[in-house]
Each structure stands twice: as structure tokens, then as C-alpha cells.
Amino acid sequence: MTEPRTLLIDGDWASAERTIDVRYPYEGRVVGAVSDADEGQALRALQAAKAYAFDLTAFERAEILRETSARVEAQAMDFAKSIVLESGLCLKDARREVERAVTFLRYCAEEARRLDGDALPTDVTAEKRRSIAITMREPVGVVAAITPFNRPLNQVAVKVGPAIAAGNVVVLKPSEKTPLTAIKFVKTLIECGLPAKAISVLTGRPERIGNVLLKSGLVDMITFTGSSAVGKRLAEAAGMVRLLLELGDSGALIVSDDADLVAAAKAAVAGAVSTSGQSCRGVKRVIVVDSVADAFVDRVVTGTLALRTGDPMDAESDVGCLISEEAATAVEQRVTEAVRSGAKLACGGQRKGSQYWPTVLDRVDPKCALVQEETFGPCAPVIRVKDFDEAIRVANDTAFGLQTGVFTASLERAFSAIRRIKTGTVVVNNGPQFESPKIPFGGVKASGLGREGVRYAIQEMTVLKTAVFNLGT
């Protein structure tokens, strides 16, 4: 058997002695294999990246990203099927992911042309110096991008797109569970004009590759999406390396007693089950004022029961499966624990292999692990509270703070929530799953450091340099 050449090092595709099988979670069958890079290969990739002079103009970088966006759009179904096969996400979710990536890359192309600076007169002190300072943005250097399994295309585009727009060299480490779509995407970038030496790909086990990334001294920035536990370990070990960490969340959706219950229930269902519930910005808790909770839960149950859970490749399926049977079992165990602590199972709660049916629980204890931790599965746990103030207190009572949704008809309550909730984003009259390439995305507390979103990620991935011209007296 020919070893898979999935390592892109110094412009050439290479293989390793060991391989990792990639499996279709729904069936367990092998759908591909990737090389398992060793420490030496990882180090060579970093050395080559550090030595490469990436000197394309902003126009050239923008054209590469624009053409890549168009090429991905033209091959949308191929990318979507690749996503399904390695992740188990349903085809509907996969197609939406491709659409998001296409939009994101287009916006990256636009922002690549907008790396502007400022002209700053300095005669603002008693010294009356007539000088002028000019600021400009330079690429930070070598960006190590470590991506998770849950969005095999979009998470790669979200990191690689801004890095290229800013003029950086990228070393990509995709999840060993879902690397195939990432490789397909990198090949598309190169076909669209990106120099092969401007991006490296390291497939394999994260502990080995990550160790080299952290200790080589050749990485200028790490951008990582994953669990808070891993993010914390990265932050502790990284030293003087710029970090952009997008970590976990216990995403809350607050439903006030004056909320539009139809819209709120629709957002709760969509946010809980999208990406099979494996989304950092999904709905992980629904905090509902008790006076409207009965009517709200009825609507959520009705919406959930209308969903079709089945074969991820079936275009009619609304929910596919989780990344593995172990992941589905972990969700099942958390739901069981919540029921034991007093929660009522309103619907769902079934598991078969890696598939877990969309589940609604009522009267959930706000201190149970299901809602205190990040539960990666299609669950809508409802926590009842007496009023809006208690809802905000409960929303703040976890270690996380990424995005929170608030449904209310009151502008006063909306601004109160915005002011008081400790989170990166508060979304009024929509769920925490809201996303746009134009807005900053990132959290506080254990949810991360820095901000994604095209313009904000580019700022994170550049260094602000100042030049001062003395104009005389």
C-alpha cells in the first residue's frame, strides 16, 4: 500500500512511516488515511516556514483568496461530502459549512486590501516637536494553526484565510479525526496561486506535533480552537508567543417573560442541534423565566420531534452523528446524570452507536455537569428561573463566556443583559450560535484569548510598526 502523502513540507507533499486511519463515524468504516508526522518532520516544516520569504502583494493575496472562494463554491458538493464522510455531520450541515467558508474567504480577500495605517502628528506636547509618525501593519511571521474536528472546512478557513490575507506563512495542524477536507482545501489554495512553500500541513497526533510547535522557537503565533483544558496547557507552555485561543463554552440562551416564544424556541432548537450539537457557539443551556417555561418547553419539544435523525448522507436528514461512539456515550452519560439530579426528560435521550437523538430536558439543575461543562451533543437543557435578574446570574455562573443569546421585547432589559453578562458577545433576540465574518468572535474567562472575525483576526496576526519622520522646527 502506498503511504499517503499528506505532509506538506517546504513545498513538497511527503509521507511518514506511520499512518492514521480516518473513519466515517456513522458506519465506522475507513474512508482515508493520513501520515502521522514525527518530530523530525514537524521540525523541518517549521524550519522551512521560518526561512521562506512570503512577499506577495496585498493584491496578489486577495486574488488568491478570491479565486479559492470561487473554486470551493464551484466544488461545494465535493467539499460537503468530504465533510460528511470524516465527521458524520449531516449533509445539510456540511453544505451550510461550505457556504460559510465561501463567504468568509471572500471577505478575507476584501480585507487583504485594507491593511491601512495612520499618519499621526506629534506636536501635541509642550516640546512642540514637529514630527509625524506613520503606522503600518506587518505580518507576525509563522502562524501555527491548530484546528478541531467539528467543522473540518470552516475552522481551517477561519484561521488560514486571515493569516494569508495578512501575509503570514502558515503551518496547519488539522484534527487527526477530520484532516481530509483540510488537505483538499490546502490543495485548492495552491491551485489558485498560493506558493506551496507559504503553507505547510502536518497531519498526525497532536501531542507529538504540538510539542515541537511549542518548543522549537520557530513559531511566532499560535491560533487554536479546541477545549479549554488544552487551551490552558498551550497558554502555560507557549511563553513569548502570540496566542489566539478560541475555546469552549456553556452557551446560554435566556428567554425572558416578554420574549417572542416562537422565535426563541426556534433559535433554541437550531442552536442545540446544529453540527450535531458539536459547536462551541451552540446552545448548551436554555435559561427560561418560569412563568413562560411550560409554553416554551412545549414549543421546543415540538420543534425537536419534527427533526429527522438518520443517515448523514441522506439529504433529508436534519441531524447526523457525533464524531465517535465515545463522544455520543459521554453525552448520554451527562444526560443520565442530569435526570438523576432531578431533570425531566421531555424527549430524545436515545443513542445508537455514534448517533445521539436530539434531546430536550426540563427543570435542569444549573449546577449539574451537563450545563456547567461544555457538552458536545444535541441537547437543549432547560433551566427554570424566577425572573430576568436570576437568569443573568445563572448565565454568568460557569467558567465560560463566549456568546450568549437573550430574547426580550424590552430595550431596557436588552441593555441590562449586555452590560451585566460576562461574555464575549451578547446576541439580542437570537441564539448564541449567531455568526458573521464581519464581527469580532471570541470569549472571556475560560473561553479564550483574542478575537477571530476577519478584520480582527488580521489585526491579531499582524504587528503594528511605527515610523517617525522629524520635520524640523
Question: Active-site residues: which are they?
Answer: 246, 280
- The SS3 of residue 180 is helix
- Collapsing DSSP to helix, strand or coil, 120 comes out as strand
Amino acid at 409: A
Contacts of 429 (CB under 8 A, 6+ apart): 260, 263, 406, 407, 408
Beta carbons of 145 and 171 less than 8 angstroms apart? yes
The grid cell for 328 is 455520543
CA distance linking residue 155 with residue 150, whole number of Å: 8
φ, ψ for residue 169, nearest 5 deg: -90, 140
Q: Give, for 376, the enclosing helix (H) or strand (E).
A: none
Q: Measured between alpha carbons, how far is residue 318 from residues 4, 81, 426 in Å?
A: 33, 15, 27
Alpha-carbon span 158 to 321, nearest angstrom: 24
Name the pairing type of β-strands 344-347 and 285-289.
unpaired
The DSSP code sequence of 268-281 is: HHHHHHGGGG--TT
What b/e readout covers 299-322, taking b as 16+ CB neighbours within 10 angstroms? Answer: bbbebbeebebbbbbeeebbbbbb
Residue 419 contacts residue 307 (beta carbons within 8 Å): no
DSSP letter at 55 equals: -
Neighbour order of strands in the sheet with 379-385? 344-347, 359-362, 379-385, 285-289, 252-255, 403-407, 425-428
B/e letters for 449-464, b = 16+ CB within 10 Å, e = fewer, are: bbbbbbbbbbbbbbee
11 contacts: CB under 8 Å, gap ≥ 6:
48, 195, 196, 197
462 and 281 in contact (C-beta within 8 Å)? no
Number of helices followed by number of strands (H, E) in the chain: 15, 22
